[in-house]
Structure formats: structure tokens, C-alpha cells
Structure 1
Amino acid sequence: MSGQLIERIVARVLESPLDDHVPMSFSQLSVRRTFLVEVHAGGEVGIGESWINYPNWAATERLATLLEGVAPIALGRDALDPGTLLDTLVAALGGVGRQWGAHGPIWQAISSIDIALWDLRGRLSGTSTAQTLGPVRDSIPAYASGVGPTKVHELTERALELGLTAVKTKIGFGRETDRATIAAVREAAPNIRIFADANQAWTLDEAIDNATWLQEEGVEWLEEPVSGDDPQDLAALHKVTGMPLAGGENVYGLENLVRLVTTGGLVQAQPDVAKSGGLTVLRRLAEQLGGTGCVLSPHWYSGAIGLRASITLATTVAHAGWIELDVRANPLRDDLVTGGFPLHEGNVLAPTAAGLVGDLDADAVNRFQVHSDERRFS
């Protein structure tokens, strides 16, 4: 395939109201939003996604960062060389993020372009991106995410209906609430495996204290237990308690991710494909996991495109563990893509549609879209 120049970049913001707010230890999710990015080149369109769950004004910021910061650099570049473009964008905008004190928004915007380019490569070659990358497995085990502190019985039962063998509980809401969440999961599904996510709710001392009782309750690993996610704190927590740890969704760039996965006690690396550097950075990370005792289990808690990209990633790298599957209602995941996310015996099957995404439901996109804008190469 010869090079194709990026001709046009389109950004779309989609929204869907929530009947019930989703509590987190640091905030709550009041509206489902997704940020779609189209990259046009060679007569085809690749589709990516940028993470905009928080804050409520993230979509406004992302439009500016993508269209005013990223697009002028990306337009006119080779669409078939995602790695070179990502490195170019990071070199051009990394200093801006440092001075701004906002590495996250820069990386999240760049990640959406990277995802779109990998989708585009598959589409232009007439096959799934998994096939172009080289499949390692045809499915990956999924765990139920988003369980607690509300609707614990209902969501655990939903996990069982889907054939899932593990749930990840949301904790960090105080000892009484957290214990009630774990107990409710055990009541609804006595034999299910339990993981826990504190979303950086605790100090190191608090994390040590909580890890002790969580281990007693059979929690297998603890995600983002310490505020700031400092590798030294994580290593100290594991040294004192022996609790296996997980994290990475708020870590940006390969160097920082490698530092995290070589931290003592970290067993689940959870970078986010729409935050941490797209497929390009996460595949580079996967190449360095051998001998670390850590597997790649991508974080995902948003829309359809990023979930498809995460599944493709996990089925095309050697050291993979789990896929995160949010079991709360999310039409921006369930209604946008043809074919959905088929499961077999608790495993999510590798996507087979063209590119990463396949066909989007145009009616659903129009129904949920609240804003669109674009830039063209001239």
C-alpha cells in the first residue's frame, strides 16, 4: 500500500443522558459522552475515540486541542504510518502540555488520531486491523466493571447473565460502604472472582489498612489504590501487604508506563487506548512486558470505538490478561457499531469487521450527536 495523505479531520461529540448517576470515589458520571474523530485519506475514513468522561467540560477542551493543536500538524501527513505521526505529534505538543500542566488532554487528543489511523489502515487493506497486526488469540476474557457502590446485586447478576467469571467493584467510599459492596457481590455470586478499584482514593497508610481486609475478603487485585499513583507508594504498599496491584489508566507515554509496569507488585497494566497513546504506544509497551510479571489488561469505560480498539489490542499482543466490560447501560457503546461485542463463555471475541470499528450506525450517530467540527488540508 502506498502512502496516503490525511486530507480531513472531523470531530463529533455524542451525548446520552443517564437515568442514574454513576458514583466514583472522586466524582460522579452524570452524562455519557463520547468524542469521535474521523480521519479521511485515500477515499476511506478511519474512526477513533478520545476519552472525555471527566470533567463535564472535557468535550469543549478536546475540540480545541484536537482541531487547533493536533489537526494542523497531522493534516497532509502520511495516514499509513501511525507510529511516525504519533512521535511527531508528541514532539511538537509535549512541551505545550508540560507548560500547560495538562499532559492528559494532549495525549488523549493524540490517542484519538492514532486509533483512527489504525482503523484506516485496516479499511484500506480490506481486512480487520487485528489481521493486519497479526492475531495472537481469537478472544480475551472479560470482567464486569462498574459494579458498586449502587446496583450491586443487579450488576453482579448482569455479569452472570453474560457468562463473566469476575467483577471489579468500585470502592473508596468509606469502609462501611466498601464492605457492603463486597458482601453484596458475594451474596449474589458466591463463586465469582472479585477485583477492586479505588480510583486513587487513599493515602498510602489508608491503602495499607484497606488492602488488609480486602485480601481477607478474597479480592484478587487492587487497582489505583493510592492518590497520585506514585510507583514508590505502590511498591511500598505491595511490600507491606503483599496485595497484587493494577493501574495505568492515568499514565501517559511509554516511558512513564514502563516505569509503572516495572514497579514491584503490579500485575495488571491498565493503560487506556484513548488516553495513554493509542494502539501505537500500548503495543510498544506490550513488547516490554516479558519478565515483568505484569500483563496488559486495557482500561476502558467509555464508548464503542475505544472498546473495539482495546479488544483488538488484547488479541494481538502476547502478554495480555483481561478486557474491562462495563455492565451498566451505555447506548454510546451498544448502539453505535454493527455486530456489538459478542461473548463466548466469558470471553470477548476478536473483532472481524473491516478496520477496528466496521460500520457505524449512522442513525445512532445522528441521534446522539450534539456537536461537530472539522479541519481540511489545504
Structure 2
Amino acid sequence: MTDGFTIRSIEAFCYRYPLATPVVTSFGKMLNRPAVFVRAVDEDGVEGWGEAWSNFPAPGAEHRARLVNEVLAPGLVGRKFDSPAQAFETLSKGTEVLALQCGEPGPFAQAISGIDLALWDLSARRQRLPLWRLLGGQSDTIKVYASGINPGGAAQAAGAALKRGHRALKLKVGFGTETDLANLATLRGLVGAGMLASDANQGWSMAQALQMLPRLAEFDLRWLEEPIRADRPREEWRRLRAAATMPIAAGENISSVEAFRDVLSEGVLGVVQPDVAKWGGLSLCAGLARDILAAGKTFCPHYLGGGLGLLASAHLLAGIGGDGWLEVDANDNPLRDRLCGSIINVREGTVKLGEEPGLGIVPDLASIERYRSI
């Protein structure tokens, strides 16, 4: 088979897993875990799978699934493409005005990303290569860290992650100085000399961030993520960098090639975290990841969703290389665990992706059918 393909069908499937314990961020709670999985099939019957970011707002997952099924898929079915990147360009250019008219560039970018990931999986399967090899990787082993550790029950969540094989942790902060510092002290004690990072989820004002920075210095953080809003002026981010003793991280809320070029051209961010299911898919983020490494920064793909997007993020990290970590959510989510293949098996802070073609798995949707919403 060549790497060109003609698309027979594209379909999105939407799921919701109810949570006993909400996932908490500084800007709100997730009462359930949504997932929008995308299946692409070519004229030879080869399948590929992807995922579109759909965490917020609460009803957003169904909307993104319908964007795929009713708006985007009809523009691709029956067409031949030389590569996933060509299909990505066709979708992106073809819907620019519509996204602008709707005021919805984000949802369109997320839905297109889900399709793009599916087409990359399909393309790798056609070439009988694991996706990480198609992306140029030399090793199937990557480092991971346990993410999504809430302010309540942080010690228990971190302890459970360490028992599962994790050796690196990231704590959510932005819940008051006393709570944040107490949780950081506890997690530093649990992980010892291992990697510890923190994520404020854009939760602080500039004044609050500057006040917190000296208090955070004692915890030897690998990075502080999104201490202020992603859209604050670059001068504010430069002031933070000057005052910080740890690297500053961001990227999940950057959504243009130009904006990423800006942050790569300056010394503010030490860790850059694009999200392949939220913006750019692999068609843009693979090149971006190489640019991040070339700029002397650490590439750590952002991810907090279902298993297929997690797998795609893992293959990108393995494909590009570098010394970064894959983000693995520590919270309960069968939409992740039943579809993330070997990533469920963390050993001494690492996972192995293996040599199976594409993402390495064929999703068992029957196992999550009870959570289907549309």
C-alpha cells in the first residue's frame, strides 16, 4: 500500500463517564469525563482512530462530535489525499470563514484535530509501521508523569500513582496559599528526589503569581505551568520568568503557528506543551515539537482526555524524542484506561509503545458502550 488514501467514511462517537469524585481545576470542576473518538476508514478498509479535545464546557463533547459528523466529514468522504497533512490543510482552509462566522475557531480546531489524528493512525497502519516510527522515532520507551492531582486527597492520589509505577507527579495549585504549599510539601515528601511540577491553570493574577514564586522555590519544581492567563501580555510573562527560580510551562492554550513561533523565539517558556487533540493535530504539532527541541526547550505534550488522544500524544513524544514527559491523568477514567493500550503499564516512570502498526490498538468500543451519549 502507498501512503495515499481515499476516504470512505469518518465518524465521531461521543461518550461520558460519570465521576464519583469531580476533577477540580482553579477555573471549575468536571463532574464527568467526556470523550469524542473519531474513526476514519479508507477505500481499502483500513481504519484509523483519533480523538478530539472536549473537556469544556460541559455540553461541548456532543457539539464537537456533531461538527465532525455533520460539518467536516462530508467534505472529506470520497476524496483522495496524499497525506494526513493535506487533508488537515483542506479542512482548515475550507472552514476558516465558517469558524469565524460561528465565533468557534476552538471547537473547529478540536474537531479537525480529532480527524487528523485518525488519519495519521490510518496512514501508519497502511505502511505497517507504529506511529512513533513513522514520525521518526528511535525508541518506543518514554517517560510519563501522573497529572490531575486535585487539592483534596492529593496525598492519596499521589501515593496511588507511585504504587502504579509513576516516579513523577504534577499537582494542581491555585486553591489558596496554605492549601497549595501544604500539598506541595506532602508530594515532595512522597516523590523524594523525583520530578515534581505544578499547574495553576491560569488561576493567578500577576500580583498573586509574583507573591507565590518565592514560596514555591523550596520545592525544586521541574516547572510551574500557566501561572497566569495564557492571553496576558508577553511583558507579564517575561516578568514572571525573571522572578521565577523554576522553568515556566505553557502551550495547551496556544492555538496558532505564529503564537508558538513567538514563544519559541524568547526565553520565557522552558517547557512547551501543545495539545494534539486541541489544536493542530499531528500535522502541525509534529513539526512544532521538533522546533521546540531545536529552540533548546523541553517538549511535553499536554493531554487530559480519553485513551486514543493519550496514545497519539505518546507516539508523538516517542517519535520526536527529547527529554520530556508524557502527561497521564491520575484520575479514574475507563474512557482512558480501556483504550490507551500499553500506557496503562507504567514501569519505573516509563511506558513502552511496542511495534504494532499505527497507535498499536484497535479500540474496543463495546467495552465502553454504556457511556455512549451520541
Letter in 1 for 2:134: T
Residue aligning to 2:263:
260
Question: Matched residues in 2 for 1:242 and 1:122: separation?
Answer: 42
SS at match of 1:88: helix
Question: Matched residues in 2 for 1:288 and 1:337: separation?
Answer: 27
Shift of residue 80 of structure 1?
Answer: 4.8
Residue aligning to 2:27:
26
Question: Matched residues in 1 for 2:365 and 2:100: separation?
Answer: 38
Shift of residue 200 of structure 1?
Answer: 0.3
SS at match of 2:292: coil
Shift of residue 143 of structure 1?
Answer: 1.1
Residue aligning to 1:37:
38
Query: CA 1:234–1:96 in structure 2 vs 1: closer, same or farther (change >3 Å)?
Result: farther
Shift of residue 6 of structure 1?
Answer: 1.0
Question: Matched residues in 1 for 2:213 and 2:66: separation?
Answer: 41
Contact 1:47 1:357 in 2 (8 A): no
Shift of residue 136 of structure 1?
Answer: 2.6
Shift of residue 135 of structure 1?
Answer: 1.8
Residue aligning to 1:311:
314
Contact 1:336 1:365 in 2 (8 A): no
Question: Matched residues in 1 for 2:248 and 2:240: separation?
Answer: 9
Question: Matched residues in 1 for 2:327 and 2:347: separation?
Answer: 15
Question: Matched residues in 2 for 1:210 and 1:225: separation?
Answer: 10
Alignment of 1:100-115 (within 5 A): 100-115=102-117
Residue aligning to 2:362:
359
Moved more, 42-51 or 340-349: 340-349
Deviations for 1:110-148, whole angstroms, at most 9, x for unmatched residues? 100110001101222233222323323221111111112
Query: CA 1:70–1:327 in structure 2 vs 1: closer, same or farther (change >3 Å)?
Result: same
Deviations for 1:265-298, whole angstroms, at most 9, x for unmatched residues? 3111111110121111111102322442212100
Letter in 1 for 2:28: S
SS at match of 1:72: helix
Deviations for 1:235-271, whole angstroms, at most 9, x for unmatched residues? 2210233431111111113222222333323111111
Letter in 2 for 1:277: G
Alignment of 1:18-167 (within 5 A): 18-41=19-42, 42-167=44-169
Contact 1:147 1:156 in 2 (8 A): yes
Question: Matched residues in 2 for 1:159 and 1:262: separation?
Answer: 36
Query: CA 1:339–1:221 in structure 2 vs 1: closer, same or farther (change >3 Å)?
Result: closer
Contact 2:51 2:118 in 1 (8 A): yes
Letter in 2 for 1:365: I
Moved more, 284-293 or 138-147: 284-293
Shift of residue 214 of structure 1?
Answer: 0.9
Which of the residues 191, 194, 202 maps onto 1:192?
A: 194
Residue aligning to 1:225:
227
Query: CA 1:295–1:219 in structure 2 vs 1: closer, same or farther (change >3 Å)?
Result: closer
Q: TM-score, normalised by structure 1?
A: 0.92
Contact 2:311 2:340 in 1 (8 A): no
Unaligned runs of 5+ in 2: none
Unaligned runs of 5+ in 1: 372-378
Contact 2:230 2:253 in 1 (8 A): no
SS at match of 2:222: strand
Shift of residue 29 of structure 1?
Answer: 1.0
Letter in 2 for 1:18: L
Contact 2:305 2:336 in 1 (8 A): yes
Moved more, 28-37 or 132-141: 132-141
Q: TM-score, normalised by structure 2?
A: 0.93
SS at match of 1:316: helix
Residue aligning to 2:240:
237
Residue aligning to 1:376:
none
Deviations for 1:11-51, whole angstroms, at most 9, x for unmatched residues? 10112111111111000011011001111102121111001
Shift of residue 340 of structure 1?
Answer: 4.8
Alignment of 1:329-340 (within 5 A): 329-340=332-343
Contact 1:128 1:351 in 2 (8 A): yes
Letter in 2 for 1:56: A
Moved more, 265-274 or 221-230: 221-230
Shift of residue 99 of structure 1?
Answer: 4.0
Question: Matched residues in 1 for 2:282 and 2:260: separation?
Answer: 14
Residue aligning to 2:6:
5
Residue aligning to 1:299:
302
Question: Matched residues in 1 for 2:259 and 2:73: separation?
Answer: 25
Question: Matched residues in 1 for 2:100 and 2:328: separation?
Answer: 33
